[in-house]
Amino acid sequence: MPFKVIVTKDFDHMSEVAAHIVIQDIKTALKRKNAYVLGLATGSTPTGLYKHLAKAANGAEFDCSKLRSFNLDEYIGLPAENAQQRALHPESYSFFMVQEFFGLLHKKFAETNVPWGTLVDQERLLAELEANRGDWEEQGADEGRAIVIKPTAQSGYLRWIRSEILDAYAEKIKRNGGIDLQVVGVGGRGHVAFHESGIPFERNKMLLVRLDENTVENAVKDGHFASKQQSPWYAISMGVELVYSAKTVLLLANGSRKADPVAESLLLAPTPSVPISYGHLFAMKGGTMIYVIDKPAAKKVLEHADKVSQRGIALEDISEQTASRKVEDLPFFRNPNSGLMG
């Protein structure tokens, strides 16, 4: 299956191209089956894509009632009195999805799912971890760590988190036939969702994560929280093993801040220090891996275009296309042998 990188002009162009890929995949899949499972991400990067998808859905290009969605991650520790208030917190990913996508739809999805991090009480979690140190272990080679709860944990609360918050989410995705297309972004150190740099690729499809300080700092820099002290330091997240079990993974990146991790993920051997580099293994195992990135994010990739091609990755720079040229007329959509969509 293909591994393709498409370089676009800017954020708007990236969003348009990505939306066309998603819409075409949904329409093609619904011709042969009656349901579609879409994996979604949060953050500023996919917001343009979501506006295009909402417009297409509201224009009856596809039937939302046949779609189910699963999001990548959710915070633990948002300030609130209870789980309901945490889910409705302005910085919760549940709230984000309603604001940026679900609330724009005239016809709703069959079902939407965001990891159930808001059900976890952070104070109790920390108390149980401290009181039951034999119930869990850490994984990771850097500041961000996976907190792996053992199946034999003595703490009933920790066993509940493992079975009903982590394992149950992965099992629900499996019951629905797996994810057809998963949208992902790129973290500052090449992480995907909250699978932080240094956390191993394998084991634990769903993760309880203590966040990397860089991740928290970026959340503050991007205006989501006033300070690191007010930002959550824990989250529930899909791990790369689950993210890249989708049939297609569509990675979006825009802006110069993403240039280094994007280049590292394409030019270096797969390594847990750059979790999105798992895309190489995913493509080798038969998955369809597509990057849609804007010119600033692609700067170092374009500087090493020959090396990217030598790794068997198709690189197409469409950043200079004329504004009058429709996305669907581009070569990788018109050529049935291009293999873009598998």
* pLDDT tens, position by position, 175-217: 999 999 999 999 888 999 999 999 999 988 999 999 888 888 8
Top CATH class, 3-334: alpha beta
Per-residue pLDDT of 223-233, as tens digits, reads: 888 888 888 99
For the beta carbon of residue 269, count every other beta carbon within 10 angstroms: 8
Confidence at residue 336, expressed as pLDDT on a 0 to 100 scale: 39
Q: How far apart are CA 234 and CA 83, in angstroms?
A: 15
DSSP 144: S
Separation CA 71–CA 95 (nearest Å): 12
Domains of the chain, by residue range, sit at: 3-334
Structure confidence by residue, pLDDT tens digits, 14-56: 999 999 999 999 999 999 999 999 999 999 999 999 999 999 9
Per-residue pLDDT, 264: 97
Tell me how many degrees the CA angle 188-193-197 measures, rounded to the nearest 5.
50
In this predicted structure, the answer to whether residue 335 has a pLDDT above a threshold of 60 is no
The pLDDT of residue 1 is 52
Q: Which residues of 111-138 are buried (b: 16+ CB within 10 A; e: fewer)?
A: ebbbbbbbbbbbeebeebbeebeebbee
Which pLDDT score, from 0 to 100, does residue 304 have? 97
Report residue 116 as tokens.
């159930």
| Cα distance between residue 243 and residue 251, in whole Å | 11
CA 102/CA 64 separation, integer angstroms: 10
DSSP secondary structure letters along 34-62: S-EEEEE--SSTTHHHHHHHHHHHHTTSS
